[in-house]
Amino acid sequence: MTEVVVHIYDVTNSGSEKTNNTILQINRFFKDGIGLGGIFHSAIQVYGDDEWSFGYCEQATGVFSCHSTKNPMYTYREKILLGKTDCTIFMVNQILRELSREWPGHTYDLLSKNCNHFCDVLCDRLGVPKLPGWVNRFAHAGDTALEVAGNTAMRVKQAKTELVSASKVAYRFLSNITSNVTNGSPQRPGTLSSSENGNLRLQGSWFKGLLNTAKPSTSTEMESKDEDANHGAPNHQRKQSRDSVPIHPTAFG
């Protein structure tokens, strides 16, 4: 058995001293101040003096090693003992060879497949606990937000499609009823009169207008509408129009 250690670094490789200092301040506040998380790099040390991690490269594997606590790209923060592994050094080398094939550098993704995700997988294969939640919490939060946004967009698109289909059925049904009442004679199911064909041609633009009416206006659109309306309105009506524009809260409320 041997100890498994994770080494944590502040990510200060932006190339800008101002940006690096900002990241350090973020990490001090969100991790040291309130224990939430931050922007960190991690690497696993097991057997020997080297640590293992994962990063981006265009070709070959993204798995790499360097002397523990000495990665020159980042600012060293701390080490955490994760536990002891029952794996022999031979087994560990085999695991690292497998991961080198499974984690090519071009698959690196900041939110869904970064160095911290790699360390979690390595820990799992070594049979020790994964990294503390705060190490990769920002990436998990960002990935979840993207997934929610994607699902929401898909649902909105699906809902619009279903609304269009439903409106076509309803419009056709209402057109048939109107035609039957007007003509005073029954019409064979599945056939359309010339007037109905004309009505159906208007259907697309009618429903498009309905959707556009239901869509919330941006503040710029509302101001433009007010300006157009105010050109032909008396002064007291102009003031009332401006005062009646609704104020929408921002997304961060």
Please list the active-site residues: 41, 115
What is the spatial distance between Cα 140 and Cα 12, in angstroms, rounded to a whole number? Answer: 20
∠ CA 188-192-193 to the nearest 5 degrees?
A: 105
Number of Cα atoms under 13 Å in the Cβ half of residue 97: 6
In the block, tokens 């390595």 appear at 122
Q: State in Å, rounded, how far the first CA of the chain is from the last one.
A: 53
